[in-house]
Structure formats: structure tokens, C-alpha cells
Amino acid sequence: MREKKGYVSFVLHAHLPFIHHPESDDYLEESWLYEAISETYIPLLTNFQKLVDEGVNFRITMSMTPPLLSMLDNKLLQRKYIKYLKKLIELSEKEIKRTKADARLNKLSKYYFDRYSNDLHLFKDVYKCNLIEAFKHFQDIGVLEIITCRSNSWLFSYFIC
């Protein structure tokens, strides 16, 4: 008896609650967005590009919600993210000097310096502060299908189409 083949589909879900405080330079909850950019969205984009460069045939479905897209498109939040990265780079530089006598900690400090410096380079120079367009690129070449939630879908259409 021949077994039936099936498909498994994993859908990545990208969402954050809308948090934006133009009245404050350093609002704690905005760091959720900055951490998500550095720890999720930039690594996803980097790995999508790596798979494309290596000729790997892949397909990913990813939802991106209107609140997230609105924050990613916000010029003030983009500038605040750059400022956030520069602070982390400065801190990691200080840690490299402070930990020079401890090889293990010094290596970790250098890792974070390199990581945040790379995030800054990718965000500013490669993606031109526009992660939405970066994701759209992968949609346009057919490896990423971007979907959204039912509510406020008009806003999603505005950003992606």
C-alpha cells in the first residue's frame, strides 16, 4: 500500500502591539520593537537572502499585522531604532575595553559589538530603514507570501501593495 504524501505549512506570525510615544526619547515599551527588529526581522531577512543566494528552493508564509507595519513605517521610530543601536554599540565598545583581561567575556563583548554594528549597517545602508520594502522584495521574487489578519486589512494593503 502506497503512503499518501502531504504538506506541512508553518506560518510565521509577526505582530507587536502599537506602541509609539513621540513625546519621549526613551520610552521603555518601544524597545520591544527595536528588540524584535534586531532579533527577529533582520535575522529573517538575512536568512531569506542567504537561502536565495544558495539557490535553495523555499517558500515561507508570514503574517504581518497592521500595528507592526505602521511602526516599521514610522520615520521617528526608525530614527529611535538607530539611536538605540548606537547606544548598544557604544556600550559594547566599553565592555570590550572593560573585559580585556577575561577572554571569554571579551569575546562575548566583541560578538555584541559586531552584531549591533552589522544591524546598524543592514538597517541604514542595505534596507535604507525600510524593512517593509525588504520583506516585499522576497514576496516579489516568490519565496515569501505575506498575509495579514482580518481586521484593518486596508492598512496592510497600503503598506504591501
Q: Which CATH architecture has domain 11-160?
A: Alpha-Beta Barrel (3.20)
8-state DSSP, 10: -
pLDDT tens for each residue of the chain, 161 residues long: 677 777 767 776 666 666 766 666 666 678 889 999 999 999 999 999 999 999 999 899 888 888 888 999 999 999 999 999 999 999 999 999 999 999 999 999 999 999 999 999 999 999 999 999 999 999 999 999 998 875 444 444 444 44
Closest listed residue to residue 135, CA positions, set 29, 10, 40: 40
Sequence letter at residue 63: S
What residue segments make up the domains of the chain, in order of their start? Answer: 11-160
